[in-house]
Amino acid sequence: VKEHGRNNYRFYTPEMTHMAIDRLDMEGNLRRALERDELQVYYQPLVDLGSGAIVGAEALVRWSHPRIGMIQPGEFIPLAEDTGLIIPLGQLVLRRVCTDIRDWQASGLPPIKISLNLSARQFRQDDLSACIREVLDETGVEGRLLAFELTESMVMHDVENTLDTLRELKALGATISLDDFGTGYSSLSYLKRFPIDTLKIDRSFVRDIHQDGDDAAIAHAVIAMAHKLGIKVIAEGVECPAQLDLLREFGCDELQGYYFSRPVPVEEFTLMLRQARSL
Ligand code: C2E
Ligand code: CA
Ligand code: CA
Ligand code: CA
């Protein structure tokens, strides 16, 4: 993995050569993937810092290509956004998530909240909340079990439309998270202006939090400020106990990262929920 700047990762894998060959046909491939059920939803647990319990998860899409193997979202989400395929893709992910939530409930597991990523194109979709409502009705899942993750760049344009859309999502009972916080043109005024429930500190600030005093100061201040505004804070990319200790000291609410678990397939996540329950 080579790093370009603070929050841009490019992945160079052996598969990339195959991908390059297929580049032109990627769109066709992705279209087929949507029809042939090649997309999967993985779950990465969100852990409560106080109790250590799994209190939620982020849904992250994966593409298991019959020839190339597993393709990470960084490789196809941008293409899906450019081509508009992100709309059916997003709908597929939402339907899968709601079906999984329904199955967990049916098997007697306590309800947990699942976070979904919304891309700019989905967010601007006129019938976004109607499409979500349709899936909720179909699956019988309550809107309060969903959280939608948006980035700062998505909310900074067109304040009026953003407010309308956020209100519609909240009217479904869902909560709103600001993703990758700190990497965009962070304007603290968004936090005041928009009905944001949760803020996710980007992992580029968490990575060196135990080694870099500036990053620690930023994380600490962000957590304190968010709490004063009644906003919950999740730290992304927690990989070691030293980071966890500091985030605990700073009063962070929930953690997400490889230290607890990588994103895992639904079967594995279901097992985690069962085990946690029988503790
Ligand atoms: P994101 O929303 O910032 O998601 C978090 C990313 O950080 C995930 O990458 C996750 O696997 C990774 N991650 C989690 N913990 C750690 C850690 O401790 N260390 C490190 N180094 N990484 C960690 P992933 O799954 O490759 O997803 C990449 C991006 O693709 C996501 O970034 C999100 O922007 C987008 N994405 C994924 N699924 C969807 C989807 O269903 N819809 C949309 N619109 N975008 C999606
Ligand atoms: Ca996210
Ligand atoms: Ca993020
Ligand atoms: Ca990110």
pLDDT, tens digit (0-9, with 9 covering 90-100), for 156-198: 778 889 999 999 999 999 999 999 998 877 667 778 889 999 9
The protein residue with its alpha carbon nearest to ligand 1, atom 17, reads 237
Is pLDDT of 139 > 60? yes
Q: Grade residue 52 by pLDDT with cuts at 50, 70 and 90.
A: very high
State residue 23's pLDDT score. 59
Give per-residue pLDDT as tens, 100-135.
999 999 999 999 999 999 999 999 999 999 999 999
Q: Is the distance from the beta carbon of residue 237 to the nearest atom of ligand 1 less than 6 Å? A: yes
Give per-residue pLDDT as tens, 11-49.
445 555 555 545 568 889 999 999 999 999 999 999 999
257 alpha carbon, closest ligand? 1
Give the position, in ligand 1's atom list, of the atom nearest the Cα of 93.
Answer: 41
ipTM higher than the 0.90 cut:
yes
Q: Report the separation in Å between the CA atom of 117 and the middle of ligand 2, taken as the mean of its atom positions.
A: 5
149 alpha carbon, closest ligand? 2
Residues 6 or more apart in contact with residue 250 via CB below 8 angstroms: 216, 219, 220, 223, 224
Q: Report the separation in Å between the CA atom of 151 and the middle of ligand 4, taken as the mean of its atom positions.
A: 9
What percentage of the chain carries pLDDT values higher than 90? 78
Give per-residue pLDDT as tens, 169-179.
999 999 999 99
Ligand 1 test: best mutation among 6, 39, 60, 79, most atoms within 8 Å of CB? 60
Q: Are 96 and 269 in contact (CB under 8 A)?
A: no
Give the position, in ligand 1's atom list, of the atom nearest the Cα of 61.
Answer: 38
